[in-house]
């Protein structure tokens, strides 16, 4: 069963849903913006009509081929509509549709909208459904997208190293691979400390296991190495603060580094280490000044 063709090809003249025989029994549901919308949106006529018919099938909970076709048409008009993508997944499952055809469909959409979150979320859902057989194809697809824009966060996330490490039965799971993964991630951090991704990945390797995170000396050591060269590295300071919060007893060298940082700022000189780091973060990460201020009021003096 085809999963992804729209109701009209690009070569054909577009037929409004109200003139399609297969939708003759459907009563469209208009957009309800209330009696006095502050700013009424001037929807295009084709967009308005397609959405009116989509809403009718959506509210009816219809799982049919015509519903699937209509979601493809809505996605073509607005690929960022979360509700439509969610409904499409429900229809795909109900129809036991060909998910490989669906992947081909979403790849075409993704190539035109490479930074659309909903598209990549849908691709991940498909990849998990299809399993290892699509791994090479997905790897190649992300390579193509990253060749266009090496900073495409969605493409990097879709490669999902963490998913492979934690779920692959062939590799032994996170417990078997954590040690080597930590070394790999630390190398990535030291090569570019301002890249947030490896810092988050490093914490993810200890998800739910704060005691292991705190006692692995490599974690505090990488914070120390980075801060020796860049005392304003938000990611190193943030991770160090989390370590102190869960009970880290810092080494003399790490304590000395933070004390040196404190000495250059009168506001932090009399503060304990955790509070001092919060105050430093308030200055070097001003966009989140309120968060660090809140953190400072909740963290207890443990040093």
- Could you tell me if 111 and 94 are in contact, meaning their C-beta atoms sit under 8 angstroms apart? no
Task: Indicate if 106 and 196 belong to the same structural domain.
Answer: no
| Six token digits for residue 225 | 């190495």
Tell which wins on pLDDT, 99 or 40: 99
Catalytic residue (choose from 115, 129, 137, 225): 115
In a domain, 65, yes or no: yes
In a domain, 205, yes or no: yes
pLDDT at position 300, please?
52
Mean pLDDT of 114-126: 94
Judging by beta carbons within 10 Å of its beta carbon (0-12, 13-18, 19+), is residue 281 exposed, middle or buried? buried
Task: Indicate if 86 and 216 belong to the same structural domain.
Answer: no
| DSSP single-letter state for residue 13 | P
In a domain, 84, yes or no: yes
Residue found under tokens 């081929």? 65
Task: Encode pLDDT of 239-284 as tens digits.
Answer: 999 999 999 998 999 889 888 888 877 887 788 889 999 999 999 9
Based on the residue annotation, tell me whether 151 is a catalytic residue of this protein: no
Task: Indicate if 193 and 161 belong to the same structural domain.
Answer: no
| H or E element at residue 295 | helix 289-298
Task: Indicate if 91 and 189 belong to the same structural domain.
Answer: no
Domain end point (choices 136, 166, 196): 166
- Could you tell me if 126 and 99 are in contact, meaning their C-beta atoms sit under 8 angstroms apart? yes
pLDDT at position 299, please?
78
- Could you tell me if 1 and 98 are in contact, meaning their C-beta atoms sit under 8 angstroms apart? yes
- Could you tell me if 88 and 63 are in contact, meaning their C-beta atoms sit under 8 angstroms apart? no
Cα–Cα distances in Å, from 248 out to 2, 183, 301?
56, 20, 12
- Could you tell me if 54 and 84 are in contact, meaning their C-beta atoms sit under 8 angstroms apart? yes
Task: Indicate if 152 and 261 belong to the same structural domain.
Answer: no
What is the distance between the alpha carbons of residues 3 and 101, in angstroms, rounded to a whole number? 6
What is the distance between the alpha carbons of residues 194 and 176, in angstroms, rounded to a whole number? 29
Rounding to the nearest 10 degrees, give the CA dihedral for residues 228, 231, 232, 235: 40
pTM comes to 0.64
Total domains, the chain: 2
What is the distance between the alpha carbons of residues 290 and 288, in angstroms, rounded to a whole number? 5
Task: Indicate if 41 and 107 belong to the same structural domain.
Answer: yes
Domain end point (choices 139, 166, 193): 166
Question: What range defines the domain where residue 80 resides?
Answer: 17-166
Task: Indicate if 252 and 284 belong to the same structural domain.
Answer: yes
Task: Indicate if 147 and 111 belong to the same structural domain.
Answer: yes
In a domain, 9, yes or no: no
In a domain, 97, yes or no: yes
In a domain, 176, yes or no: no
pLDDT at position 197, please?
83
Q: How many residues does the chain have?
A: 303
In a domain, 172, yes or no: no
Task: Indicate if 127 and 237 belong to the same structural domain.
Answer: no
What is the distance between the alpha carbons of residues 253 and 258, in angstroms, rounded to a whole number? 9
Task: Encode pLDDT of 21-70 as tens digits.
Answer: 999 999 999 887 777 777 777 778 899 999 999 999 999 999 999 999 99
Q: Which residues neighbour 148 within 8 Å (Cβ) at sequence distance 6 or greater? A: 114
Domain end point (choices 116, 134, 166): 166
pLDDT at position 2, please?
43
In a domain, 10, yes or no: no
Task: Encode pLDDT of 166-191 as tens digits.
Answer: 777 677 888 888 999 999 999 999 99
Residue found under tokens 């849908």? 122
Task: Indicate if 48 and 94 belong to the same structural domain.
Answer: yes
Residue 83: CATH number of its domain: 1.25.40.120
Task: Indicate if 66 and 144 belong to the same structural domain.
Answer: yes
- Could you tell me if 277 and 258 are in contact, meaning their C-beta atoms sit under 8 angstroms apart? yes
* 6 — pLDDT class (breaks 50, 70, 90): very low
What is the distance between the alpha carbons of residues 163 and 157, in angstroms, rounded to a whole number? 10
pLDDT at position 12, please?
67
Task: Indicate if 151 and 117 belong to the same structural domain.
Answer: yes
């Amino acid at each position: 069963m085809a999963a992804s063709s729209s109701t009209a090809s690009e070569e054909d003249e577009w037929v409004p849903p109200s003139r399609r025989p297969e939708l003759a029994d459907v009563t469209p549901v208009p957009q309800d913006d209330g009696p006095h919308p502050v700013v009424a949106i001037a929807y295009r006529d084709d967009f308005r009509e397609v959405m009116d018919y989509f809403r009718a099938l959506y509210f009816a909970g219809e799982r049919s081929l015509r519903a699937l076709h209509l979601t493809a048409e809505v996605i073509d008009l607005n690929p960022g509509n979360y509700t439509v993508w969610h409904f499409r997944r429900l229809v795909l499952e109900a129809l036991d549709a060909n998910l490989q055809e669906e992947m081909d469909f979403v790849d075409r959409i993704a190539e035109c909208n490479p930074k659309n979150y909903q598209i990549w979320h849908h691709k991940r859902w498909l990849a998990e459904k299809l399993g290892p057989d699509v791994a090479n194809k997905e790897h190649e697809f992300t390579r193509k997208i990253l060749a266009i824009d090496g900073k495409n966060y969605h493409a990097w996330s879709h490669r999902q190293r963490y998913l492979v490490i934690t779920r692959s039965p062939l590799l032994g799971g996170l417990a078997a691979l954590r040690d080597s993964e930590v070394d790999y991630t630390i190398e990535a951090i030291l090569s570019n400390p301002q890249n947030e991704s490896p810092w988050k990945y490093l914490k993810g390797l200890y998800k739910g296991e704060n005691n292991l995170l705190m006692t692995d000396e490599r974690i505090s050591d990488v914070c120390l190495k980075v801060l020796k060269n860049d005392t304003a590295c938000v990611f190193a300071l943030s991770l160090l603060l989390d370590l102190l919060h869960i009970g880290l007893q810092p080494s003399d060298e790490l304590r000395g580094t933070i004390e040196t940082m404190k000495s250059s700022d009168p506001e932090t000189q009399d503060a304990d280490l955790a509070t001092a780091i919060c105050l430093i973060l308030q200055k070097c990460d001003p966009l989140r000044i309120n968060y660090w201020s809140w953190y400072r009021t909740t963290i207890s003096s443990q040093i």
